[in-house]
Structure 1
């Protein structure tokens, strides 16, 4: 039997052995943990070093960019100051030119602005045509050229004329078309028109403005025509504008240089409007296609336009934004008036709405009605005024095609129409052809025969 003392000593040794093993295990684990921590710490220090280096690089780049921004701001200040000085100079020149062009004792009839962009040769032809007839009325019709953009040749050409006040529209805003494939030129043109008309009506405070484009020649009585109709435009609020253009003014369709018409269709191409009308149009001016916009019923609101039988402008612009559309067929054959008309003695009061309706009703009523599929051949063989009724747009286009006049409609209105009636001369004679809409006789107060 083992003594108790010996057995206790053996237990103690066993416990010490276990404790030593546990201590050694703990030391091994501690060493492994310290080693792993040291590796992580080294990796963290390396990452921190890289981050610090990258941060310093970014700080250096930001510092360089800030220096560039400061330089750009200083450059901008210099340019702004130069721009302000140039703008002040231009205003002073405009004021001096206007004082030279306008007699202090005579209120101008209308400012005349030529809208230009990048065609110096066209601009010269237009200005030279105007200056032929302008000297005797220079104080009544101060001349402006409004250039859209920075074409140096156009600017140089415009500034070469002492009789003209030069304006420049520089628009750096990007153009965003509303539909794919649209030409941005139509958007830029609309912006230019709004800017130029705001300048003339608001800044220069003209009561009327005549708008021309840089591809037009004018007739000898151009200025007298607009002066004669200016009072009518002021006093008859059913007239929105006066135009020098007839879409069906080709040589074979006109005869009388003294005849003027009212029309529900805006002709454009050399037209005069008042300040009050512009104040209505300017706030809602469209982004593009301004001329078609004016032709909308919701815009002209049943107001009408005065147009001549024989054009007082000739459009020679075969090359431009519209890329020669209609030029050969409709524009090139236009007759420009070359007959002297004494507009100073002319009575144009018959164009007032109340008088004109009575007058037009009579001439349409007196025209011989022609019906049936042979209406056009029959009209060719008659020696009196005739009227042919069309049933709808397609029927009108068929008749227009046979006679050779404009077929186009805008917002339900044929070009040149009054109450749906399109009138033109037959083969350069006094005879008139009336194409009459399905509701025209009722609007005119004519009973069906």
Structure 2
């Protein structure tokens, strides 16, 4: 089922009409495939855009996949259209191989107020890289992160106007993760994902689909986001609260000691450097990857996840994390 099929599913057509009237929906097609175009045009509540770029792609390194160049080019074109031509204040970007949670739009609507007022937030994402079912517990919990998660995310016009002129030719998501692009801003991400990626055959070639994407938990809990107080996510509040949480966690030395400590609710494991982090992350099964000095899903070098789907939190804490957290 494609994303618009879900969005326009007859069972929930009343909800979808409400969504479409509140959030103008666009499909942007890259290229000229007639079947894709006809499918897109068959949705009455969705506006169709087509990006046709017949210029040959010049990759910068031999053996590179041209898809990454085409994707970056399409993103820039589509976001320029929406922000500059249509003058939207905010845009949510969703790839076509994503399934969405029932509270997807409500979540973004609630987070939009935060995004508008807190300039230290660069974007809001619906994705947690460590959102596999064994690592999550609380569907209401949201976090700040220094790592751009992508995969269903929202940004504002001022942020796009800053990024658009220097947008890269390829690998746009890794580019957003560079320190000089991010400039000390952070991202809001949920504990439990609001999107699910079923695209085993997408441009990423299903390389870690089975390990990381297939076990992702898509939120199914009903959350009334209008009544949730998200002020804990502002820069100062979150730093203080997260710092206290990490400081009060019981230090354990490595994976083996953690297995013995059955009765603890919250533990922290110190890692010394990237290699050490990768070793510990591998033992738990969380993402090992770093980009420009930041582990996936990390905040101030700390990666937090639940232990075996329970309330029990594990913090992997970097050598400089406690200082950065001011504890």
Query: TM-score, normalization: structure 1?
Result: 0.70
1:417 corresponds, among 298, 306, 319, to 298
Residues in 1 aligned to 2:30 and 2:2: alpha-carbon distance in whole angstroms: 18
How far off its partner does 1:280 sit? 0.1
Please state if 1:188 is matched with 2:65: no
Higher relative contact order (CA 8 A, sep 6+): 2
Aligned 8 A contact 1:264 1:418 in 2? yes
2:273 corresponds, among 389, 392, 401, to 392
SS at match of 2:168: coil
How far off its partner does 1:314 sit? 0.4
Residues in 2 aligned to 1:159 and 1:204: alpha-carbon distance in whole angstroms: 19
Please state if 1:356 is matched with 2:233: no
How far off its partner does 1:445 sit? 1.4
2:4 corresponds, among 111, 124, 127, to 127
How far off its partner does 1:372 sit? 5.3
Q: Give 2:123's aligned residue.
A: 241
Q: Give 2:222's aligned residue.
A: 340
Q: Give 1:156's aligned residue.
A: 38
How far off its partner does 1:188 sit? 0.6
1:175 corresponds, among 54, 57, 72, to 57
Please state if 1:256 is matched with 2:176: no
Aligned 8 A contact 2:255 2:283 in 1? no
Q: Residues 271 and 372 from structure 1, CA distance in 2 versus in 1: closer, same or farther, beyond 3 angstroms?
A: closer
Q: Give 1:12's aligned residue.
A: none
How far off its partner does 1:349 sit? 1.0
Q: Give 1:229's aligned residue.
A: 111
Q: Give 1:141's aligned residue.
A: 23
Which stretch of the first structure deviates more once superposed, 243-252 or 133-142?
A: 133-142
Residues in 1 aligned to 2:119 and 2:310: alpha-carbon distance in whole angstroms: 34
Q: Residues 391 and 163 from structure 1, CA distance in 2 versus in 1: closer, same or farther, beyond 3 angstroms?
A: same
Unaligned runs of 5+ in 1: 1-123
Task: Encode CA deviations 1:316-374: one digit per residue, 9 max, x unaligned.
Answer: 00001111121000000000000000001111111000111111011111111112573
Task: Encode CA deviations 1:185-238: one digit per residue, 9 max, x unaligned.
Answer: 100110000000000000001000000001001000001000000010011000
Residues in 2 aligned to 1:144 and 1:413: alpha-carbon distance in whole angstroms: 33
Q: Give 1:202's aligned residue.
A: 84
Task: Encode CA deviations 1:274-317: one digit per residue, 9 max, x unaligned.
Answer: 00000000000000000000000010101000000000000000
Residues in 1 aligned to 2:29 and 2:229: alpha-carbon distance in whole angstroms: 37
Aligned 8 A contact 1:269 1:313 in 2? yes
Q: Give 2:314's aligned residue.
A: 433
SS at match of 1:293: helix
Superposed, 1:316-327 pairs within 5 Å as 316-327=198-209
SS at match of 1:407: coil
Residues in 2 aligned to 1:378 and 1:178: alpha-carbon distance in whole angstroms: 50
SS at match of 2:149: coil
Query: TM-score, normalization: structure 2?
Result: 0.96
Task: Encode CA deviations 1:26-45: one digit per residue, 9 max, x unaligned.
Answer: xxxxxxxxxxxxxxxxxxxx
How far off its partner does 1:144 sit? 0.5
SS at match of 1:406: coil
Aligned 8 A contact 1:370 1:378 in 2? no
1:404 corresponds, among 257, 280, 285, to 285
Q: Residues 149 and 179 from structure 1, CA distance in 2 versus in 1: closer, same or farther, beyond 3 angstroms?
A: same
Please state if 1:445 is matched with 2:323: no
Residues in 1 aligned to 2:100 and 2:153: alpha-carbon distance in whole angstroms: 12
Aligned 8 A contact 2:254 2:269 in 1? no
The structure that is helix-richer by fraction is 1
Aligned 8 A contact 2:126 2:193 in 1? yes
Aligned 8 A contact 1:390 1:436 in 2? yes
Residues in 2 aligned to 1:243 and 1:172: alpha-carbon distance in whole angstroms: 32
Task: Encode CA deviations 1:8-48: one digit per residue, 9 max, x unaligned.
Answer: xxxxxxxxxxxxxxxxxxxxxxxxxxxxxxxxxxxxxxxxx
Aligned 8 A contact 1:126 1:216 in 2? yes
Q: Report the structure number with the largest CA radius of gyration.
A: 1
Q: Residues 170 and 372 from structure 1, CA distance in 2 versus in 1: closer, same or farther, beyond 3 angstroms?
A: closer
Aligned 8 A contact 1:251 1:335 in 2? yes
